[in-house]
Amino acid sequence: NNKIRQDANDLLWHMPPKMEHFIASNNNIRGALPAKWESLNELKKLREFRMASNYISGELPSFEESYTSLQHLDMSYQKKNGLTGQIPEDLWRTQSFITLSLAGNSLTGTITSLVGDLAVMKEFDLSNNRLIGAIPSEVGMLAGSLKVFNVANNTITGYIPSQLGLLQGASIYLKDNLFYDVNLPAPLSLCTLRAVEAFDLESDPKLCPPQRNALNDFFDEAKGGDWLNASLWQDEYAGYCSWNGVSCDETDQVTKLKLSTNGLSGKLSKSIADLTSLEELDLSNNDMKGPIPADLGLLSNLSYLRLSYNVFTGTAPAGLGDMKRLQLLQLQSNRITGMPNVPSLNDIKHGLSTFVTDCGVPSDFDEALACENCTMCCNAHDDCYPQQETKLKDYGAFSGVLAVFFVVLCCMATLLLYVIGRYKDSGTNLTRSTRRRMRLKDDIYALS
């Protein structure tokens, strides 16, 4: 930032031999760098060379012979045409590089597999150039050191290598290239940020389909690693419509998710609501816990919902009462303590199995679950019977209690009448005895 106006070649000729840091960014330094810096072979201590945002033009020189210990090279965003030509092959052999920033120029050629040898590289920025070819998978060898990998705005083709997903804590920038020419999505691990810190294409609907991301969230929260069958669920490139238990329509919208008796546990992810075209959801006979997410009630296309025989708790989502297309709802054998007002469902297709909850008696709770429109109720013994029988059983139980009470009442009344009768008999006998004694006295007086 000193407005230095000097020829680049002349400037470099006068660099002190013991210089370790050369920083001349944001000036007016012009011209081309020497093709070979043979005259600079004495700069063995140079660690940092920064000349960003100047007017340097032409091709990059050879670095390996001159700067064997160079750690930071920044020649980014040269004004006007900037740097041109291909990146010298020996640059990829400079294994001391920590920072390599050549962004904002007109460089051509490819990124070679030798990039994997830059073992201590932390920041790699070749964005905004004219690079071609594919990203080599060897970039994954930089896991543990690389924190920024930026090749955005080039003409890079091919598929995005899954090895990029191994770059723990790194930020990956790949926008504005030609990855769409390959009929493959971005690696699942990149789109879901499984290891990387950031990925600038994570919201791209073609490379990172939102429904695949939602299914991955579902997988993680349901402890997919323990499933009995998780075929293709963690494949980096397989289309999610081919994953076990997933069915899609012709537009790749998920319409069915059926994973009954598959060892699911954990919780039901609220991301399930992102599967907006879902028509059938069957997660029965598993070990899923916690509340059923309220967002499940947003699935307006749902017609078939089986969550029975799990350990779901709390109150069922209020939105269940607004699902106009719902034809089957089974929530029995859970720990659900409250139900919204769900209207009567059309039972033509599924009969008594249409609407089933834990509304039977005896119940595991103080009171059985209230469900006026259920077609079938199940009790604490996993016995299930039609709702009408439930009402009859309740009435029968009440009638039995009433009958016992009536019998006891009758017995008490009979006993009371018996006691009263005995008391009256005792009083009558006493009166007769008294009268006989009085008559005897009268007879005695009469004789005298």
Q: In this predicted model, what pLDDT tens digit does every residue of 117-136 receive, in sequence order? A: 999 999 999 999 999 999 99
Q: At residue 253, does pLDDT exceed 90?
A: yes
pLDDT grade for 411, boundaries at 50, 70 and 90: low
Q: At residue 447, does pLDDT exceed 80?
A: no
Mean pLDDT value across the chain: 87
Give the model confidence (pLDDT) of 373-398 as tens digits: 999 999 999 899 998 754 444 444 44
Q: At residue 405, does pLDDT exceed 60?
A: no
Q: At residue 310, does pLDDT exceed 50?
A: yes
Q: Is the peptide bond before 362 cis (omega within 30 degrees of 0)?
A: yes
Q: At residue 105, does pLDDT exceed 90?
A: yes
User: Which residue did the predictor score with more confidence, 225 or 403?
Assistant: 225
For position 392, what pLDDT does the model report?
Answer: 45
Q: At residue 445, does pLDDT exceed 60?
A: no
Q: Which residues pair with 336 in a beta bridge?
A: 314
Give the model confidence (pLDDT) of 163-189 as tens digits: 999 999 999 999 999 998 778 999 999
For position 434, what pLDDT does the model report?
Answer: 43
For position 436, what pLDDT does the model report?
Answer: 45
Give the model confidence (pLDDT) of 25-71 as tens digits: 999 999 988 766 555 556 778 899 999 999 999 998 876 555 668 89
Least trusted range by pLDDT, from 82-86, 257-261, 284-288:
82-86
User: Which residue did the predictor score with more confidence, 349 or 61?
Assistant: 349
Q: At residue 116, does pLDDT exceed 80?
A: yes
Q: What is the 3-state secondary structure (H, E, C) of the chain?
A: CCCCCCEHHHHHHCCCCCCCEEECCCCCCEEECCCECHHHCCCCCCCEEECCCCEEEEECCECCCCCCCCCEEECCCCCCCCEEEECCHHHHHCCCCCEEECCCCEEECCCCHHHHHCCCCCEEECCCCCCCCCCCHHHHHHCCCCCEEECCCCCCCCCCCHHHHHCCCCEEECCCCCHHHCCCCCCHHHHCCCCCCEECCCCCCCCCCHHHHHHHHHHHHCCHHHCCCCCCCCCCCCCHHHCCCEEECCCCCEEEEECCCCCCCCECCHHHHHCCCCCEEECCCCCCEEECCHHHHHCCCCCEEECCCCEEEEECCHHHHHCCCCCEEECCCCEEEECCCCCCCCCCCCHHHCEEECCCCCCCCCCCCCCCCCCEEECCCCCEEEHHHHHHHHHHHHHHHHHHHHHHHHHHHHHHHHHHHHHHHHHHHHHHHHHHHHHHHHHHHHHC
What's the whole-number mean pLDDT along residues 141-153?
A: 97
What's the whole-number mean pLDDT along residues 329-340?
A: 95
Q: At residue 420, does pLDDT exceed 90?
A: no
